[in-house]
Structure 1
């Protein structure tokens, strides 16, 4: 049995970024950049207006409006030129008067107060000079980054590809959710739960498989999953699955973690680079394992800089007891009160199983050397990815 911190370290050490691909700008949002993007020219390429208004020369308070730009210098000094934000300023002008600080009557521009020379003008290369680094490798690409890449002259970007994932739910007694439950028959919450968690993290599984516990059929199911994915989540019958994986050449890097729930998590790595998580049978334990280990693994393989869960601190509004020596994850509802976070344990969380987690949005962390959590205590916690998305990682 290893600590949670050691388990996460091992997972991340075995989850280096995989391949890269070059995609058009309309297909890179949300992916991680695999190369630096530099400006290929000065931005802006000419002196430009920083606001809507009028380009003028000098400190006069009265100018004649003009639409021409090639006027004699002595005439230019008496003229104002309407410009919009981003427009090149006419040659010979040295400042821009904002529209709201001027008025126009009968073709004459009247200014309340003359701006200083260079006011409201963005000089050539002031935003970014040619060759300047605009987007750094490892950046998760937002729509803003896509726009910046276009400004830098790019129509394609090289990005890290996201790993293909698969979910294998094991059990001969499992039936579809629309079937009636009966003795020896149980509905399967694990497959839809895990698939949804992966999708919330941006990693939609390429295949989901229901496999029998019978050894040959389980081997067939795992082989199918591994043939089309780099990371496989196996839920149910971990003992048989572990033996099958060993015969397939996989090595179990760890078999248990000093935590509750999800202490019986197994992480195995294949010679060909495949990674398999054998998750606990119990849905809440499987959910915690996926949140704390599977999603960080997938983010690391996708090139993300932030792969560990971001740790927040909140004040507990409940008491909770736990055994010593284990890290305990406690489902809570985190909410903002003033300038601090409060951690509330909804009444139904005391209900066993997945229904008790319906209202939680975070996991409070009770350290191994503690015997529990007390009311008023400051407690570290992680937001669930389904709640906080990108800001749940650091």
Structure 2
């Protein structure tokens, strides 16, 4: 957790413009909504990485699917290879002993030693003559070709020099990385923490929050969290406050009951259990999102409408979780340039997320506007385009940044 107070700018220490206790918006509506960068700034000022954990190399194959991210750089403990070694099968020779050798002038090699690729070079040798460039009669070996110094040899440190940074902090471990770590004799690495994420499904049958459980669990697991799913709980302020305040979580995510209806009590429950720092964001979909803390644990309240819930998770809750896990807090979706088929209309003052798909000619077109609810548009889409709050939209033929949904090929 960051040492900065909630609402402090991490660079200057100045107070950021967050309300100490946003007003109750039920039946009144939002008088104003925070810009998305303000919400992101609150997360960045409040949430820092948890202590990393050590993982034995022997345990890594079973845990690689967790998306393990290095918390510290990994350096080569020494030169690799640690000594000159054969780069191919053949006979190790002193290159000077092969001078003038050819098929019509075989040269005896009394000191030749048979070697296999990867074996250390014997003392007094500096080249490996391939089997096709020699002939043998028992122990008597003759060179049928010459070898230059170092030919067929992998020199000490040719692959890596000791102290070289192999993998940077933040690198996501891959199977090939494990092979190299094993070869170098590295038996333990330090990786990012797996934050404990409590996901509370708030509300009753009207909003159907239980439909969000599987989606949010998958998203939080993708971002490195270990999920505890709670609910669905009734739209009861006391019940939600108790669930929020229960110990044992590093991040609280609540879905549902964040709007302006009489039973939208999740923000009030958060204020009762801890602090409601911000409620309402200039984002479509997802404008009723809220941020706060409970007992020092960051909390993100997501709308109950499924597409709004997905949007706020990706842009805010996922950012908080990735920071806790020591990962890049930015969006995890690959970004590629794309040209829009037709104009994407947007309202100034509000960040808008358009679900889009690729056309046969490689351009993108909207599947659903930011106003349309439901996950069908997200399922049919290849990704999304974010229109910033200061833009009136994107004209047809303009190049945009397409963020590809998980599992979508580039």
TM-score category by the smaller chain? 0.7 to 0.9
SS in 2 for 1:16: coil
- Partner residue in 1 for 2:110: 75
Q: 1:297 aligns with which of 320, 341, 353?
A: 320
Unaligned runs of 5+ in 1: 64-72, 175-184
Shift of 1:217: 2.0
Contact 1:200–1:386 (Cα < 8 Å) also in 2: no
Is the CA contact 2:354–2:369 (under 8 Å) kept in the aligned structure 1? no
The answer to whether the Cα contact below 8 Å between 2:75 and 2:163 also exists between their aligned partners in 1 is yes
Partner in structure 1 of residue 86 of structure 2? 49
Q: How many residues align?
A: 358
Q: 1:102 to 1:75 in 2, by over 3 A?
A: closer
Aligned pairs (5 A) from 1:6-85: 6-28=38-60, 29=64, 30-58=67-95, 59-60=98-99, 61=101, 75-76=110-111, 79=112, 81-84=114-117
Two-structure CA RMSD over aligned residues (Å): 3.3
Residue 268 of structure 2: which of 235, 238, 243 is its match?
243
- Answering whether residue 259 of structure 2 is matched by residue 198 of structure 1, we say no
**Contact map agreement 1:134 1:148 (CA 8 A) in 2:** no
Pairwise CA distance, 1:213: 0.7
**Which residues in structure 2 correspond to 1:164-313 (within 5 Å)?**
164-173=196-205, 186=208, 188-224=210-246, 227-238=247-258, 239-252=264-277, 254-270=278-294, 272-305=295-328, 307-308=330-331, 311-313=335-337
- SS of 2:157's equivalent in the other structure is coil
Q: Secondary structure of the residue that 2:159 maps to in structure 1?
A: coil
Residues 222 and 121 of structure 1: CA distance in aligned 2, closer, same or farther (over 3 Å): same
Q: How far apart are the structure 1 equivalents of 2:134 and 2:369? A: 65
1:328-362 alpha-carbon deviations (Å, 9 max, x no partner): 1101124796xxx6323348999742122212231
Distance, in Å, in 2 between the alignment partners of 1:345 and 1:104 is 71
Shift in Å, 1:164: 0.9
Contact 2:338 2:363 in 1 (8 A): yes
The C-alpha deviation readout for 1:59-93, integer Å capped at 9, x for no partner, is 45459xxxxxxxxx9722xx362422x22122222
Paired position in structure 2 for 1:325: 349
Report if the CA contact (8 A) 2:84-2:154 is conserved: yes
1:178 alignment partner in structure 2: none
Q: 1:241 and 1:366, CA in 2 relative to 1: closer, same or farther beyond 3 A?
A: same
Task: Describe the shift of the 1:6–1:313 C-alpha distance in structure 2 as closer, same or farther (beyond 3 A).
Answer: farther
Distance in 1 between residues matched to 2:314 and 2:90, nearest whole Å: 52
Q: State the TM-score, normalizing by the size of structure 2.
A: 0.76
The structure-2 alpha-carbon separation of the partners of 1:109 and 1:214, relative to structure 1 and needing over 3 Å to count, comes to farther
CA contact (8 A) 2:354 2:368 kept: no
CA shift, 1:387, in A, is 4.1
Q: Residues 102 and 348 of structure 1: is their aligned pair in 2 closer, same or farther, counting only changes over 3 Å? A: farther
Note the C-alpha offset of 1:234.
0.8
Unaligned runs of 5+ in 2: 1-32, 259-263
Deviations 1:228-249 (A, max 9, x none): 2211211111241211211222
The whole-number CA distance in structure 2 between the counterparts of 1:159 and 1:353 is 37
Match of 1:367 in 2: 388
Q: Relative to structure 1, is the Cα distance of residues 386 and 52 closer, same or farther in structure 2, using a 3 angstrom cutoff?
A: same
Q: What SS does the aligned partner of 1:33 have?
A: coil
User: Would the alpha carbon gap of residues 32 and 211 (structure 1) be closer, same or farther in structure 2, given more than 3 Å must change?
Assistant: same
